[in-house]
Structure 1
Amino acid sequence: MTTRPKPILGAALGLNGLITHRDWLLDRQRDLELQDFHTAATLDDDWRPLAEETRRMLDGHTGRRGLHGPFWGFKIDSHDPEIRAVVRRRLLQGLECCAFLGADQMVVHSPFTTWDGNNLDAFPGARAQLAERVHLTLKDVVARAESQGCTLVIENIEDTDPMDRVALAASFNSPAVRVSLDTGHAHYAHCSTGAPPVDFHVRLAGDALHHVHLQDTDGHADRHWAPGRGTILWPSLFEALAGISSNPRLILELRDKNTLPEAAAHLVKLGLAE
């Protein structure tokens, strides 16, 4: 009987965190999500010097590389065509950063809100109309992602039904649109808004799941704590992950980057990852 190897942990880091944790990142050529290139201020400034310094720090890194795309101040399902144009421009800027940094994955935030979970089906056609607005926003973005070999992964934020996001990603019928899971967001939604537990998100997404933010919480707020500090049941999550074959990137996304060694050590001690 062949024993499946344990997954290797990666991390979400900006340049400062990359400098601090570079040795850990390179010791197993871990997956990396770059998080310095999502704000309007950065994208509208000359971001290339920062990107060039980041590339220098990544010399020798051969792990998979992604980027957290822009998200502050907008949703991808806006009713307003002028707002959609701004969102489109921001996400295209994100993809430009991906190309420069050698990133082949970009995180995009889900449009589904807690209100949607309770109200979308109360209005005839509202679900299809939401998807149509997202397509209007992302049509050019998806085409650009396809052309440069980058995958957009849609991350749950307030989502109460994991299948909403899975269906939205599938509606593009493109290898450049897949699903992301944020464990803390899912656990918050489970404890506070009646969403299913974290492992259900994995089982329902199946091989559409290409990216996971690993962070712990108490279920009341979006804590981004090191695993072990909150109440997520990590063995059930990793059991679910073992049942899919898409090999999602497992990215520790922590508010306090100094707790990265603690976070990784906890999951290693549980025998869940390396």
Structure 2
Amino acid sequence: MQSLIGTGVALVTPFKKDFSVDVDALTRIVNYQIDNGIDYLVVLGTTAESATLSADEKQLVIDTIVEANNKRLPLVLGVGGNNTAEVVHELKTKDLSAFEAVLSVSPYYNKPTQEGIYQHFKAVAEASPIPVILYNVPGRTASNMSPATVLRLAKDFKNIVAIKEAAGDIVQAMKLIQGKPDGFLVISGDDMITLPMVLAGGAGVISVIGEGFPKEFSQMVRLGLDRKVDEAYRLHYLLADSIDMIFEQGNPAGIKEVFKVLGLSEHTVRLPLVNVDADLAKRLEAFTQKLMK
């Protein structure tokens, strides 16, 4: 899966002030990624506020991105949930022809055992007509996929090709990199430790900050993959404060504030999310304007 090496971004769903999906803004955002060096696009992940989108809105988002992308970059689709049967049904019935892979989150809220997580992804792998990227994000799911479970899945199912590892634990990431079968990709899901993960043998990132500052962040990842460590860390430290800021009051409220400053979209989010406060908005604006000079 060479197409998933480098920088992918978890696209937001821009909303108009009336909370409807802003198709024109989404098209601008897609073009902004492509024009600034991003390697692939992730559709309907957590950052897309997919939990608040209706089925019709999700299809609108998919159609808009597929059309705007026009086959220029590989696309990955978020297909996951905590009802295994429902995820399997979606994988069997949805048109996935435009997508390189699906990104499937570990079941949230239910708090399954490691065996439950394994059996869930066994069902996902057997149902999916395209490759599967596992997604481990304990801060949202309330359960961690252990390296043993991930590696068991990677070895048992050829179409489980990667993991987006977002536990924020570099030691856990290194255990995955150490034990993975050939060709399996360990992708960072945590912007702040992306570079250390890449230098340890990771394949890149599925990023949030990368869609706000795609040129700088994707270049950092490329330099890391090329083992140009000092140059890569210069960009890491240039962006580090912005990574903290965009997550300070929740995702995607922070990155949408950046898009507002860049003139790409409104900063509207849907409840239960709210906009960042005035202080953080001011700091994000100052950082963005300084970086863009």
**Separation in structure 1 between the aligned mates of residue 182 and residue 10 of structure 2, nearest angstrom:** 25
The offset of 1:96, in angstroms, is: 1.6
2:146 aligned residue: 197
Aligned with 1:58: secondary structure? Answer: helix
2:51 aligned residue: 72
**Separation in structure 2 between the aligned mates of residue 172 and residue 92 of structure 1, nearest angstrom:** 21
Alignment of 1:44-59 (within 5 A): 44-59=20-35
AA matched with 2:103:
V
The offset of 1:137, in angstroms, is: 4.7
AA matched with 1:46:
D
Contact in 2 for aligned 1:154/1:180 (Cα 8 Å): yes
Change over 3 Å in CA distance of 1:215–1:167 after alignment to 2: closer
The offset of 1:36, in angstroms, is: 0.8
CA deviations over 1:151-200 (Å, ceiling 9, x no partner): 3232114343232332322343512x62422154699524xxxxx62342
RMSD of aligned residue pairs (Cα, Å): 3.9
Contact in 2 for aligned 1:95/1:145 (Cα 8 Å): no
1:93 aligned residue: 60
The offset of 1:103, in angstroms, is: 4.5
AA matched with 1:264:
T
What runs of 5+ residues in structure 2 fail to find an aligned partner? 203-224, 226-293
**Separation in structure 2 between the aligned mates of residue 180 and residue 156 of structure 1, nearest angstrom:** 7
Contact in 2 for aligned 1:213/1:252 (Cα 8 Å): yes
Q: Which one of the candidate residues 82, 85, 101 is aligned to 1:111? A: 82
**Separation in structure 2 between the aligned mates of residue 200 and residue 38 of structure 1, nearest angstrom:** 35
AA matched with 1:180:
L
Contact in 2 for aligned 1:162/1:205 (Cα 8 Å): no
Contact in 1 for aligned 2:153/2:160 (Cα 8 Å): no
**Separation in structure 2 between the aligned mates of residue 95 and residue 104 of structure 1, nearest angstrom:** 10
1:16 aligned residue: none
AA matched with 1:32:
G
CA deviations over 1:1-39 (Å, ceiling 9, x no partner): xxxxxx99x8xxxxxxxxxxxxxxxxxx82312331288
Q: Which one of the candidate residues 166, 174, 177 is aligned to 1:235? A: 174
AA matched with 2:7:
D
What's the TM-score, normalizing by structure 2?
0.50
> Is 1:33 the equivalent of 2:4?
no
Change over 3 Å in CA distance of 1:50–1:149 after alignment to 2: closer
What's the TM-score, normalizing by structure 1?
0.53
Aligned with 1:52: secondary structure? Answer: helix
Could you tell me the percent identity over the aligned residues?
Answer: 9
AA matched with 1:109:
G
2:127 aligned residue: 172
CA deviations over 1:205-227 (Å, ceiling 9, x no partner): 433324432323xxxxxxxx4x4
**Separation in structure 1 between the aligned mates of residue 64 and residue 151 of structure 2, nearest angstrom:** 29
Number of residue pairs matched by the alignment: 188
1:3 aligned residue: none
AA matched with 2:51:
W
The offset of 1:266, in angstroms, is: 3.0
What runs of 5+ residues in structure 1 fail to find an aligned partner? 1-6, 11-28, 75-85, 113-129, 191-195, 217-224, 255-259
1:61 aligned residue: 37
1:153 aligned residue: 103
Contact in 1 for aligned 2:188/2:194 (Cα 8 Å): no
Contact in 1 for aligned 2:75/2:101 (Cα 8 Å): yes
CA deviations over 1:28-79 (Å, ceiling 9, x no partner): x8231233128898993223224324413431526233234453148xxxxx
